[in-house]
Amino acid sequence: MTTENKLANESFSFVDAEHKILDFWKNNNVFQESLAQTEDCKPYIFYDGPPFATGLPHHGHLVASTLKDIIPRYYTMKGYYVQRRFGWDCHGLPIEHEIDKSLGMSSQQAVEKLGIKGSSTTTLFFENCKVPVSNMLGKVGDGGPIAFNILYPGRYKLGVTTCAGAKYILNRSLDFAFEREQFSRSISNFGMIKNKFANMVAMSWESDSINYMTTGSIDEGISKINPKSKGYYAGVQKIIEDHSIEASICKIVGSEALAYVVDEGLQIMGGAGFIEEYPMAGAYRDERINRIFEGTNEINRMIIGGYILKKSILEEIPIRLAIQDRLEDWLVDSKDIDFIIVEFCRSLILNISNHLILEYGQDLKNNQWILEPFADMGISFCIIDTCYKRFQALEDGSHKNNTYKVFQLTLANHYSSMSNNAGIILNYTKNSQMKKKINDCIKKLNYCPNPIKYKQNIVKDLYKHKKYYLD
């Protein structure tokens, strides 16, 4: 007799066999054991749907549910943590609320904002929220530095987006200025309007240059790490951390360039700028947040000033040798006046840094009256140095010539701002010796920039291109 015939004759009961298997699972706690064993594994969530059309389940749903259960079973076998609870929901907010509650997450209602109304903003709370071991980004208790490190890329990204916004608004303001006539002329002919456009071009270009320098330097650092090495991600993290000062500079320069461009763009539109029908009113509200989030610009100035001093004192940046080099000789010999000015500004920031290290040490972070002008000197020098190198790296031709006209304005503005801030610091700290040294240098330099001429040249190029033209 074959096995099949024997089974048939013994009246095999599928139902009994099923019960036996179920009893086995129940008595040995098989399902709970499988959950306990995989509790720390990567979770797998199977989003079923759509829900029962009538809102009420019936026997017909069992076939589909059993078939669909193959997928969670498969992932359990693959070692994932799959809770597998049979049930149904109404896919509505009450269910989401229950889920949030059980996960330890809660939020408040979205807040009404001054601008960026297209995004929803609310506070999220995580209380006793369970995180699977496989989702941990480091050791328990080390989350703070990881969260702060996220802010650095956020800051240079904000530098890039605000810079793009500034160029966009500049172009739209220009369109308006060409169209609008007053006193029988296009308003683009008026000197005060041209002045605004020249400043817009220079500030956008400065922000653009700082962004390229920062992201290029990060890229270069990362390209030197082997992506297959064990410490790849830690290495990337370290490089991002090493660019914390640059990230803050990107954020401040970009957000303040955009603020200027939008404010003056609205002014160029006159009354129309104040009318909701025109998009400038929205831009005016939307740009305001950029000086607040990702660390307010005050906090970022604290980071710039504080970190420069801290990293110098701890010799994390090789500034001591540079200071030694410039203690006596502040001026360099060259036929290139721009290079001489850039190097004078370098001497200025190095000697002011040295003075503040000796005067305050790390305690400077508690004296914001000094920290702020010092941070502004750091920002200005970063702009001057970066823009000079960018200009130098360009191939000869019309783009380089156009860029030079903007660089002249940038150099004049930031040289003036750095000298002014150095004076403010030295008056306060009563360092008359260094003040005298600066004045002597300025006399020797005999640098007489002509910002009005530079701006006229810039605007000529801008009007010829009819849009931002330095990309």
Ligand X SMILES: Cc1cc2nc3c(=O)[nH]c(=O)nc-3n(C[C@H](O)[C@H](O)[C@H](O)COP(=O)(O)OP(=O)(O)OC[C@H]3O[C@@H](n4cnc5c(N)ncnc54)[C@H](O)[C@@H]3O)c2cc1C
Give the binding site for ligand X (CB under 6 A): 113, 116, 121, 289, 292-293, 295-296, 298-299, 302, 368
Q: How far is the CB of 123 from ligand X (least distance, A)?
A: 9
Q: How far is the CB of 129 from ligand X (least distance, A)?
A: 16
From 107, 150, 127, 130, select the one nearest 247 (Cα to Cα).
150
- CB-nearer residue toward ligand X: 27 or 122: 122
From 26, 356, 403, select the one nearest 201 (Cα to Cα).
403
Please list the residues that pair with 186 across neighbouring strands. Answer: 181
Q: How far is the CB of 292 from ligand X (least distance, A)?
A: 5
Q: How far is the CB of 372 from ligand X (least distance, A)?
A: 9
Rounded CA separation 52/89 (Å): 9
What is the DSSP annotation of 283-329?
HHHHHGGGGTSSS-HHHHHHHHHHHHHHHHHTTSS-HHHHHHHHSS-
The bridge status of strand 181-182 relative to strand 185-186 is: antiparallel
Question: Quick check: 156 and 208 in contact, CB under 8 A?
Answer: no
- CB-nearer residue toward ligand X: 10 or 127: 127
- CB-nearer residue toward ligand X: 15 or 111: 111
Q: How far is the CB of 115 from ligand X (least distance, A)?
A: 8
The bridge status of strand 181-182 relative to strand 124-126 is: unpaired
Q: How far is the CB of 107 from ligand X (least distance, A)?
A: 12
**Token pair belonging to 470:** 């330095």
Question: Quick check: 203 and 383 in contact, CB under 8 A?
Answer: no
Whole-angstrom distance between the N-terminal and C-terminal Cα of the chain? 88
- CB-nearer residue toward ligand X: 113 or 180: 113
Q: How far is the CB of 156 from ligand X (least distance, A)?
A: 16
Half-sphere exposure of 468 (CA within 13 A, CB side): 23
- CB-nearer residue toward ligand X: 99 or 110: 110
Q: How far is the CB of 295 from ligand X (least distance, A)?
A: 6
Question: Quick check: 207 and 166 in contact, CB under 8 A?
Answer: yes
Q: How far is the CB of 254 from ligand X (least distance, A)?
A: 16
Side chain identity at 380, as an amino acid letter?
S
- CB-nearer residue toward ligand X: 155 or 405: 155
H helices within 90-142, ranges in order? 93-103
DSSP 81: B
- CB-nearer residue toward ligand X: 116 or 434: 116
- CB-nearer residue toward ligand X: 72 or 378: 378
**Token pair belonging to 274:** 């104040």
Rounded CA separation 454/58 (Å): 80
- CB-nearer residue toward ligand X: 13 or 366: 366
- CB-nearer residue toward ligand X: 117 or 436: 117
Instruction: Give residue 339's region: left, alpha or beta (phi > 0; psi -120 to 50).
Output: alpha
Rounded CA separation 33/185 (Å): 84
Question: Quick check: 343 and 414 in contact, CB under 8 A?
Answer: no
**Token pair belonging to 350:** 């190095």
Q: How far is the CB of 298 from ligand X (least distance, A)?
A: 3
